[in-house]
Amino acid sequence: MEITAEMVKSLRQQSGAGIMECKNALKESNGEVEGAVTFLRKKGLAKADKKADRETSEGTVSTYIHPGSKIGVMAELLCETDFVANTTDFQQLARDICMHIAASKPRFVSRDEVTEDVLEKEKEIYAAQARDSGKPEKIIDKIVIGKMDKFYEENCLLEQKFIKDSDNTVQDLIKQKIATLGENILVGNFCRFEIGN
């Protein structure tokens, strides 16, 4: 199938990828736009993984105040250069993450931040619940592992389903922006305030 300039232009507008990347993606998918978008996303996520070790010494501190002024969030989003930190895409990502934190109440950025005492306490609770419901001792460990995965999904920002797009986690959203902006991006610290809590 012939790849036209119009097809490439359309895919560029949709994906933000370069001309040659769009052309190659369309070739790979035989001119099928959705397939080309998927191809670009996979390629972009692979690129994002390669950037994960790069130093992030620039960024922005963003805030979000929920309507009614009862919930507020301040979060630090880090990148490699002040050029990227000042882009509209990066600033929007920072605001989206703040809004997500306001709505989803994460306690930690990632699994690495969960302290040993919190982990032990959660595991004890899940094991006791399993025993109390009459589960056999030999499967309690497996139940606890499953419950801990759920705990991480609910309490770790990067593993939560993004409030604006539940098909993606916050980590997926960040990886997509890494692919688009070409720099490593990390969430630093965040603080969530809620009146009455």
Give 123-146 pLDDT, tens digit per residue. Answer: 999 988 888 888 888 888 888 888
Helix 19-28 crosses helix 33-50 at what angle (to 10 degrees)? Answer: 120
Higher-pLDDT residue of 17 and 174 is 174
Report whether 102 contacts 192 (CB < 8 A).
yes
Round to whole Å and give the CA distance between 18 and 8: 9
Distance CA 184, CA 182 (A): 7
Q: How far apart are CA 29 and CA 46, in angstroms?
A: 18
Q: What is the pLDDT of residue 17?
A: 64
Task: Specify the fold of 58-109+156-194.
Answer: Tetrahydropterin Synthase; Chain A (3.30.479)
Q: What is the pLDDT of residues 45-56, one digit of tens each?
A: 545 555 556 676
Q: Are 170 and 176 in contact (CB under 8 A)?
A: no
Contact 49, 25 (CB under 8 A): no
Q: Where are the domains of the chain?
A: 5-50, 58-109+156-194, 115-154
Q: Which fold has domain 115-154?
A: GTP Cyclohydrolase I; Chain A, domain 1 (1.10.286)
Higher pLDDT, 58 or 31: 58
Task: Return the closest-CA partner of residue 146 out of 122, 162, 172.
Answer: 122
Superfamily in which the 5-50 domain is placed by CATH: Ubiquitin-associated (UBA) domain (1.10.8.10)
Mean per-residue pLDDT, 152-169: 94
Query: Can you tell me the distance from the alpha carbon of 34 to that of 49, in angstroms, rounded to the nearest whole number?
Result: 23
**Which pTM was predicted?**
0.70
